[in-house]
Amino acid sequence: MGKETVQKIGVYGGTYDPIHIAHLIIAEIAREQCGLDKVIFIPCAVPPHKEFAGVSAAHHRLKMVELAIADNPYFQASDIEIKRGGTSYTRDTLREISKTLVLKPSQLFLIIGADSLADMDNWKDPDEIFRLSTPVVAGRPGVKPNNKWDVGYLRTPLMEISSTRLRSAVQNNQSIRYFVPSVIEEYIRRYHLYR
């Protein structure tokens, strides 16, 4: 990522195994409600809070993100964490992006789900994450707000869609149509992912 003239950037990290419509809806709502010039989707290399053994290869997850966001000029995929390798920590990514793009915390928005916020105490250097960025949170069904942290909440629909559930559906020969863009459904089929 080179230097660009941008005022407000959204950073949206995740495993994206696979990316699904809830990810895309949340990103678009965040872009609109926060007045973002761009939302950067960042597939992690090794997720710090999940079991890594069953995670698809990074190149597949990055390609699915690229395919899913191709028609939105405000969305961009980044391999910043994949290139860095090892366990992906949000703190390190925010440091790198804020330095590269010369952004203040008021210009760098971290998009997370309420489940991630509920687990924020277990993240690496959460205080630094809050110093580097402005976190905005999308609600998740059944997850209570974490009032310890000062965050903004996005007005998003509560969607019970998870990548875990979609992988399980594929394994069980169940349809994932409409849960993912059709191009992602085709990619999963072509490369026999989650089988």
Which pTM was predicted? 0.93
Neighbours of 172 (CB within 10 A): 8
Please report which confidence band the pLDDT of residue 147 belongs to, taking 50, 70 and 90 as the band edges: confident
What are the extents of the domains in the chain? Answer: 9-160
Please return the burial class of 22, using the count of CB atoms within 10 Å of its CB with bins 0-12, 13-18 and 19+: buried
CATH of domain 9-160: 3.40.50.620
Does residue 2 have a pLDDT over 90?
no
pLDDT digits (tens, 9 = 90+) for 45-82: 998 876 666 899 999 999 999 999 999 999 999 999 99
Residue of higher predicted confidence among 171 and 2: 171
8 Å CB contact between 46 and 31? no
Residue 47: its pLDDT value, please? 86
| Sign of the dihedral through C-alpha 192, 71, 116, 126 | positive
Residue 89 predicted with pLDDT over 60: yes
How many degrees, rounded to 5, is the angle at CA 155 between CA 4 and CA 35? 20
In angstroms, how far is the first alpha carbon of the chain from the final one? Answer: 34
pLDDT digits (tens, 9 = 90+) for 90-118: 999 999 999 999 899 999 999 999 999 99
Cα–Cα distance, 30 to 27 (Å, whole number): 5
| Residue 132 burial by Cβ neighbours in a 10 Å radius (0-12, 13-18, 19+) | buried
Instruction: Say what the pLDDT of residue 74 is.
Output: 98
Q: Using CA atoms, how far apart are residues 109 and 41, in angstroms rounded to an integer?
A: 12
Please state, in angstroms and rounded to a whole number, the distance separating the CA atoms of residues 109 and 8.
7
- Inform me whether the pLDDT recorded for 148 exceeds 90: no
Q: Is the pLDDT of residue 6 over 70?
A: no
